Amino acid sequence: MNLINSHQQDDLTVISFNINNLDAGNADAFRKQVRPVLEESKKVAIDMSALQFVDSSGLGALLSCLRFCNENGGSLVLFGLQRTVTALFELMRMHRVFNLFTSIDEIVGALS
C-alpha cells in the first residue's frame, strides 16, 4: 500500500498521506516510503491534513524524518495538522521541535 504521495511546488517537495492514522501499524512502512523522497529533496513540507491520529510511533517516524533532513542540510516543516494531532504535538512539546504551519501558502510566504 502506498502511504504517501509527493509532488513539487516551486522548490518545495510536498508529501501528503493516503492514510488517516500514523501509528505503530504503519510507522515503519512510512519511514521506508518517505526516505527516498527525503534523499532527493532539500526543502520538504509534510501535509498532515489527512491524519486524524498520530501515536508515539508516528511521532518517532516524523522525528526521524526531521533528523534526516537536518543531518543532510535540508529542512522539513509540517502543515495542516488536525485539532487532535495539534493537541498531541502540544502535549508532547513537539510544536517546539517542528516548524508548524497552517497551509502551504503560509510556508511559501515564509520561505520566500
pLDDT for 85-100, tens place per residue?
999 999 999 999 999 9
As a whole number, mean pLDDT of residues 97-110 equals 91
d(CA 71, CA 5): 23
Which residues does residue 44 pair with via DSSP β-bridges, in sequence order?
13, 76
d(CA 86, CA 67): 20
Contact 55, 61 (CB under 8 A): no
> What confidence score (pLDDT) does residue 10 get?
85
Q: How confident is the model at residue 112 (pLDDT cuts 50, 70, 90)?
A: low
Q: What is the pTM of this model?
A: 0.94
